[in-house]
Amino acid sequence: MVASTASVRGPQGANGEEAGPPFAPSTDLWIFRAGGRIVSGPGMVSELAREISHTASRPDALLDGLILAGQLESALADSGSEALGRASSLTDALAQAVCGQGLISEAREMVKALRVPPSLTVSPPEGFTYYALHPADFTRIVTRIPAEPTSCAVIGIRSIGTTLGAMTIAGLKSQGRSAARISVRPSGHPYSRSMEFSEHELDWVREQTVTGAQFVIVDEGPGRSGSTFLSVAEALVRAGVARSLITLVGSRQTNPASLFATDAASRWNSFRFLSTLPLVSTRFERYRYLGGGEWRGVFLPQREHWPESWTQMERLKFMAPDHHTLVKFEGMGWMGKQSRERAILLGEEGFAPAVVSHGEGFVEYAIVRGKRLRACDLTSQILERMASYCAFRAAACRVSETVTASLQEMVQFNLHQEFGVELSLGEGEMLPRVPVLVDGRMQPHEWIASATEGLIKTDGVSHGDDHFFPGPCDVAWDLAGAAIEWDLDREEFNYLVEQFRLRSGINVSSYLHFYLIAYSIFRLGFTRMAMPTVDDTDERERLKTAYWRYRRRILQLLEARPDRVGAGLSAA
């Protein structure tokens, strides 16, 4: 049998209260998923051709085309394709067009000449997709790169570094400087990346050194460890490049002492680092910033009712000066386009606020006036609305891509890491019956009771397909999320599931228990990973409270299925 809840209390703080969980890279839980997906290579080229054919009629088409070209180039580089050279030239041509330096007609001819493998593995460029990093940010930073030597050898770190490298090259050439580029892919653990140049890459480095070039390494970030940037810079040093000739260019400033890589501070401080100045900060000068949890002060005035937030991971959002619309970043490029289309669909169906595109990855939502709900507001009508919403997504948000077993692996890994238990699941047991892009945010405060528009669901566009779990999965994820976040009792839970079955024809009863565990252990990991990153004491307390709430719920769920728990709970 599983140990009782009382026997698995966590570490005790002062006065005997529950302290937060231990924090160290070795105790991290798995909350970020691999975003790679297998796609048709010729299909990707066709999509790219369509994008750049619409540049005259759709303002975002050129930017989306550039990002898609960078993804294609990155995938071809990873696969060692002979088409890499042509793809790199295409990315460069589109980067120059974005900067107003090239003709889009040249890029259209280049696309026609591309011959690529039947299938490719592509990954989302996270900065363009999730963090409102604008490619032009890397064009504008070239004035801060040392003037001497004038020649620059740019190394982009894949995946996003292909596009960033092309934009950096375009910026340097606009300054009359000579420049060339390649891209590389470091490997290894995220906190300890390593980089070994291939013979071809090493030859290129030596050629650039002979010509007297300085080296510029470009990527988004740095992330939590800094090891990706460092691995490439230190590989250059091993190849004979002087540290004084190496500049790292990233998308954000960092405190080297906070990086997780071994001896990170001393290693980081031995190189020159420049961070970009976000273009988005000037675009929304007159708007009120609502990112980083600030939206709660506007829409949830009672501070004691604020939900927890990993503030650094929130999407950028702003309220218009007239207070009638909210502008939120939903992504540029291929995935961003799909998110915008999903936002429009949900608005047209009456489940979400009305929307229009605001350009460059932003979507403008009408602000719905009404009451943000709490769990205590629950009624049968709300459960029926949630059931209808989940049924609609199950039908309208299906995906055809292959879904891996990584969600199941995450659940089993995190349960072992946090509780020391082995959850017995059959091979592929949590693979979806029908893969869906779920909402991922079924919390009460995401619902608005409007006198004019009924029950409206907010924030339902991109969380089901961002860089966190779950990714494409079974619609049971959202039903489980609703049950956990609204704290449904058995009768309410059964009513929701039955109402969903009546509307969708899908019966999730036989496997929903494991999605309750999956949802809860992900949210536990999310709050646990967020706690040490936020500076605000109140925010940390909200995250800690949520962490313990998810932890207690998981224990209850495990106790209900002792037949699936292969080892006792530890007294962690």
DSSP letters, 335-391, are: HHHHHHHHHHHHHHTTSS--EEEEETTEEEEEPPPSEEP-GGG--HHHHHHHHHHHH
| pLDDT for 8 beyond 70 | no
Residue 507 lies in a domain: yes
Is the CB of residue 351 less than 8 Å from the CB of residue 394?
Answer: no
| pLDDT of amino acid 449 | 98
Angle between helix 104-112 and helix 84-98 axes, rounded to 10 deg = 160
| pLDDT for 281 beyond 90 | no
| pLDDT of amino acid 36 | 82
| pLDDT for 76 beyond 90 | yes
| pLDDT of amino acid 352 | 98
Mean pLDDT for the chain overall: 92
Task: Provide the 3-class DSSP secondary structure of residue 16.
Answer: helix
Residue 130 lies in a domain: no
- Give start and end residues of each alpha helix (H) in 3-40: none
Confidence label for 58 from pLDDT (cuts 50, 70 and 90): confident
| pLDDT of amino acid 433 | 85
Residue 236 lies in a domain: no
| pLDDT of amino acid 131 | 92
Residue 54 lies in a domain: no
What pLDDT, in 10s, does the model give residues 247-273? 999 999 999 999 989 999 999 999 999
Give just the sign of the alpha carbon dihedral 230, 236, 238, 240: negative
Element (H, E) at 202: helix 199-210
| pLDDT of amino acid 572 | 41
Return the CATH number at 524: 3.90.1200.10
Mean pLDDT computed over 56-77? 94
| pLDDT for 276 beyond 50 | yes
Q: What are 399-404's contacts with CB under 8 Å, separation 24+?
A: 399/435, 399/436, 399/437, 399/472, 400/435, 401/37, 401/38, 401/39, 401/435, 401/472, 402/37, 402/38, 403/431, 403/432, 403/435, 403/471, 403/472, 403/473
Residue 290 lies in a domain: yes
| pLDDT for 525 beyond 70 | yes
| pLDDT of amino acid 24 | 56
Question: Domain count of the chain?
Answer: 1
Confidence label for 404 from pLDDT (cuts 50, 70 and 90): confident
| pLDDT for 569 beyond 70 | no
Whether residue 81 is preceded by a cis peptide bond, meaning omega within 30 degrees of 0, is no
Residue 316 lies in a domain: yes
Confidence label for 25 from pLDDT (cuts 50, 70 and 90): low
pLDDT top residue among 399 and 485:
485
Q: Which residues are bridge partners to 37 per DSSP?
A: 122
| pLDDT of amino acid 401 | 74
Strand 214-218 with 246-250, pairing: parallel
| pLDDT of amino acid 14 | 34
Strand 325-329 with 355-359, pairing: unpaired
pLDDT top residue among 124 and 553:
553
Picking from 191-195, 301-305, 400-404, which range would have the lowest pLDDT averaged per residue?
400-404
Residue 99 lies in a domain: no
Q: Considering the entire predicted model, what is its pTM?
A: 0.89
| pLDDT for 566 beyond 80 | no
The percentage of the chain sitting over the pLDDT mark of 70, rounded to a whole number, equals 94
Confidence label for 34 from pLDDT (cuts 50, 70 and 90): confident
Residue 374 lies in a domain: yes
- Give start and end residues of each alpha helix (H) in 14-60: 41-53
Show the domain range for 341. 5-32+284-564
| pLDDT of amino acid 567 | 57
| pLDDT for 494 beyond 90 | yes
Confidence label for 278 from pLDDT (cuts 50, 70 and 90): confident
Confidence label for 6 from pLDDT (cuts 50, 70 and 90): very low
| pLDDT for 356 beyond 80 | yes
What pLDDT, in 10s, does the model give residues 321-346? 999 999 999 999 988 999 999 999 99
Mean pLDDT computed over 388-397? 98
Mean pLDDT computed over 495-505? 98
The percentage of the chain sitting over the pLDDT mark of 90, rounded to a whole number, equals 83
Confidence label for 13 from pLDDT (cuts 50, 70 and 90): very low
| pLDDT of amino acid 69 | 97
Cα→Cα distances 251→65, 134, 181, 492, Å: 21, 10, 19, 46
Confidence label for 2 from pLDDT (cuts 50, 70 and 90): very low
